[in-house]
Amino acid sequence: MIKISNTPLTINGMTLKNRFVMAPMGVNYAAPNGEVTEQLISYYEERAQGGVALVIVETAHIEVAGKNLCGGLGVYSDSHISGLKSLVERVHAQGANIALQLLHRGRNASDQITGLPVKLVSHVPGLCPPHGRVMTEEEIGQLVVKYGEAAQRAQQAGFDAVEIHGAHGYLINQFLSPLTNKRTDRYGASLENRMRFALEVIESVRAKVGKAYPVLFRIGTREGYPGGMTLEDVLPVIRRLADHVDALHVSAGITESSLVIPSAEYPKAWNSEDTRRIRQTVEGKIPVIAVGRYADPSLAERIIREGTADLVALGRPLLADSHYVDKFFHGRAEEIIRCIACNEGCIGRTGVGLEVRCALNPLTSREYLRPFRPASPIRKKVWVAGGGPAGMEAALRAAELGHEVTLMESSSVLGGLLNLACKPPHKEDIVGITRSYTARLSKAGVHVLLNTPVSASEVLREKPDLLFVATGSRPVRPKFCADMQLALTADAVLSERVMPASEALVLGGGMIGCETAEFLASCGTKTTILEMRNELAADLLPMQRRKLLGRLNELGVKALTGSEILSVDPDGSALIKTRFGNQKRLPPFEMLVIAVGYRPNLDLCAGLNRNDISFVDIGDCRKVGKIMDAVHGAFHAVCEHLGNAWWSA
């Protein structure tokens, strides 16, 4: 069957070779003055090479005052045109079309970055910075002009289209929404007045680029915040926009909600029904682009085939795998590195002013450092002990550099702790990490041996040229419960080696403890978390932490923070001490779950060290961390010992 996602579509004269679009994402790779850099160009060039039909380049600011990232792209000066032209030429050379997204962040701009006052539609306490300044009608008119001038620069640079960003709580959205628009002049109060700025911006852009030039508009289906716009509020706006733009790019959310970059608790294609409503509303006048967790390409294919949308935009999935589209079209979908919506490398970094990376793909952000190749043509015999994420990454990259690689795993399956990390609710996608590695290891020619522990004597006998040790970690088990039958590790619970009890006390309220508590509570166990710190899940990103704590609350999980356990009686009754120094005895629990962390498994390392055998320790056996730490640490180690050390910078 021909994939409908691999058929062309035309938007106002711009013919796209397939139905996959790269969604615009601020990556913080541009120069401080807004100009493109080689890092930025190479990043987009790689995604174009990977098969998408249209690359929508990230949020290009129409004026300095609209920025919030030091490395945010600019289109507010004629000096930007030359660099943007180079970007266009490099993307075109890979066979993709390219559009530039035009943006002003309004209340979400950063005066610390720009050195300029934050421009507001209205001052709304709690949503706007107290030092922001409400714009006059004259200042609004000046911004309308700047949108048109920015579009003209994009056209002069050779972009095939522009996209006006009217979503995500940025300036145009701030005018549209009654949540942030409290004006009483011609730009506020009624829906007609609140739409005025958006329509004037479109008119200004059209006046500069002409009717034959494709103009896209990004719109949110809902804001996901009390008092914000709902789908029913948005539909009248959609009807007006359909007469003035050439395509609608359908997203959702504002900065204060979790919808803009949804994490793993949101289902795949979670915004598809709202997108369907919007496509029905425009009645085929213009194409509609869907976005929102399309890590599975077969789901994107179905959405298009069923008529929910005309195209699908990929954001984070292209950070995880730049060749997602090409692999799907050529029957290699099992090799796709599928985004798990962890947000660790992307929004988790830009949220603190760092450049975007990807937890699962160390090559993202480093495209400009090509080629990734060995410093020496000598083919080495490389062993990797341990098949968790660090071991699989090291084996894969060593093989890609042309070496003879054997990966040995002591258990019957690859994945290490990934096999447990996928067990809590909303973590099922983690299974895909091992599946992708398995396919890519096979393609790279890695010899994988399961049920094969490595010993120092074997290393002495076989003499590999290089040994990576990735034997992972073991759960910490405090001495006071070392021999208690009712005390189990989180590993034992998540691996389902034991049946959940009617009541459980989870000792440790970090990410692992909270996720284990959610797992137990979802199985019907009455669960209490005991945590020494004053807050739960302090090691999670803020938005994900709020969502997880909300789910724990809904499940009735009780939290005892600022408390430490002193002892546990054989009947399961625990004596605890609060941060105020008071001691309390808790009623008996049937199960005590230990989730106080992991420590490196150093058994093999110790044996190698005793025999003066050189090795490189990676992953949790070097330092316990998250998936991103394991993957990136292994990649760096391979670059340092087998490739070019500068590649891991």
Which residues are designated catalytic? 170
CB-based contact 70:117 (threshold 8 Å): no
Interacting residues of 261 by C-beta distance below 8 A, sequence separation 6+: 315, 316, 343, 346, 347
| Amino acid at position 5, single letter | S
Alpha-carbon span 498 to 280, nearest angstrom: 50
Residue 471 CA to residue 487 CA, distance in Å, equals 25
And the tokens for 645? Answer: 């050390």
CB 271 within 8 A of CB 239: no
Q: What would the two tokens of residue 35 be?
A: 């100009």
8 preceded by cis ω (within 30°)?
A: no
Are 346 and 261 in contact, with CB atoms under 8 Å apart? yes
CA dihedral 505, 510, 511, 517 (to 10 degrees): 10
What is the SS3 assignment for 507-545? Answer: ECCCHHHHHHHHHHHHCCCEEEEEECCCCCCCCCCHHHH
Inter-residue contact 13 to 214 (CB < 8 Å): yes
Query: Closest Cα to residue 436, out of 452, 410, 418?
Result: 418
Q: Which residues fall within 8 angstroms of residue 188, CB to CB, at 6 or more apart? A: 121, 122, 181, 182, 194
Rounded distance between C-alpha atoms, residue 208 and residue 201, angstroms: 11
